[in-house]
Amino acid sequence: MCCSGFLKVMMFIFNGGIFLAGACILGVGVWVKVDSSSLLGLLDNVEGTPSGLSQLVNVAYLLIAVGAVLLVIGFLGCCGAVRESRCMLLTFFSIVLIIFLIEVAGAVVLLVFKDVAMDIFDNLGDEVKTSIKKEYGSSDSFTSLWNATMNEFKCCGYKNYTDFDDSTFYNDNGRDLYPVTCCNDTLTACTTDKAHLSRIDGCFTMLLQLIEENAEIIAGVALGIAALEIAAMVVSMVLYTNIGNKA
């Protein structure tokens, strides 16, 4: 009886946290959807976005969906434990199990089809570079966002400085000037020769490097989430069984 009560309290606290997290994510999703000056404005400028990556443009809807699912999971877990509802606990178990299986399947696909994923990002790179040539120097929001990104990651363009060739910025500056982040010497004008000698990595390369450097942390977080999901499923089934025995 004492063990059952402890599990109920832990179930309530755990799912209460999930409920609050879902509310926060849902709120962020609604905010991004309403905010017309968000990152969606930049992604809308990328022409020919591959259909498989179209959800990047609708990131607000993804956040809203994730937040709503977490709200439902948290509600079912809390109420199922407090009210000792077998139906709620079974529904909670089923939803968490489906999410867990999807995560496992996604990890397997990512590992097995790693080269395919890289090809998708390479194809996206062509569209991003086209967008840079069209928007960099002509759109203030696009230019500011790229400048902030390059300053933060100490990178230049998507792949390298040549991504800015034929852009509005490049053409308006005598076709011999690049963003200052494309050169090691940021105190003087970044000309073609200086950019070529500096060989600053592209932002895509820096992003991959950042992921590789933090691979252990990412893997640890993923394993932690998986462990919590398994624990939640075990606890929900223990409570479900105890309620059945009482009946």
Q: Kindly state whether residues 13 and 59 are assigned to the same domain.
A: yes
d(CA 180, CA 146): 12
Reply yes or no on whether the pLDDT at 49 is more than 70. no
Question: How would you classify residue 203: left for phi > 0, otherwise alpha for psi between -120 and 50, otherwise beta?
Answer: alpha
Q: Kindly state whether residues 17 and 108 are assigned to the same domain.
A: yes
Q: Kindly state whether residues 136 and 181 are assigned to the same domain.
A: yes
Cα torsion 58, 62, 64, 69 to 10°: value is 160
Collect all residues with Cβ–Cβ distance below 8 Å to 123 and sequence separation of at least 6: 50
pLDDT in tens, 120-161: 666 677 788 888 999 999 988 888 889 988 988 899 999 899
Q: Kindly state whether residues 195 and 136 are assigned to the same domain.
A: yes
pLDDT in tens, 62-74: 778 888 888 988 8
Range of the domain at 97: 2-113+216-246
Task: Give, for 39, the enclosing helix (H) or strand (E).
Answer: none
Q: Kindly state whether residues 10 and 95 are assigned to the same domain.
A: yes
Reply yes or no on whether the pLDDT at 54 is more than 80. no
d(CA 108, CA 110): 5
d(CA 50, CA 34): 24
Rg over CA atoms, the chain: 24
User: What's the pTM?
Assistant: 0.58
Q: Kindly state whether residues 177 and 98 are assigned to the same domain.
A: no
Q: Kindly state whether residues 128 and 167 are assigned to the same domain.
A: yes
Higher pLDDT, 9 or 92: 92
Q: Kindly state whether residues 95 and 132 are assigned to the same domain.
A: no
State the CB neighbour count (10 A cutoff) for residue 182.
27
pLDDT in tens, 84-123: 888 988 999 999 899 888 888 877 776 676 666 666 666 6
Collect all residues with Cβ–Cβ distance below 8 Å to 231 and sequence separation of at least 6: none
**CATH number, domain containing residue 145:** 1.10.1450
pLDDT in tens, 158-213: 989 999 999 999 999 888 899 999 999 877 889 999 999 999 999 888 887 887 77
In the chain, how many domains are there? Answer: 2
Q: Kindly state whether residues 107 and 120 are assigned to the same domain.
A: no
Q: What is the mean pLDDT of the chain?
A: 80
Q: Categorize the per-residue pLDDT at 24 as very low, low, confident or very high, splitting at 50, 70 and 90.
A: confident
d(CA 74, CA 130): 44
Q: Kindly state whether residues 87 and 170 are assigned to the same domain.
A: no
Q: Kindly state whether residues 39 and 51 are assigned to the same domain.
A: yes
d(CA 26, CA 81): 24
Q: Kindly state whether residues 51 and 150 are assigned to the same domain.
A: no
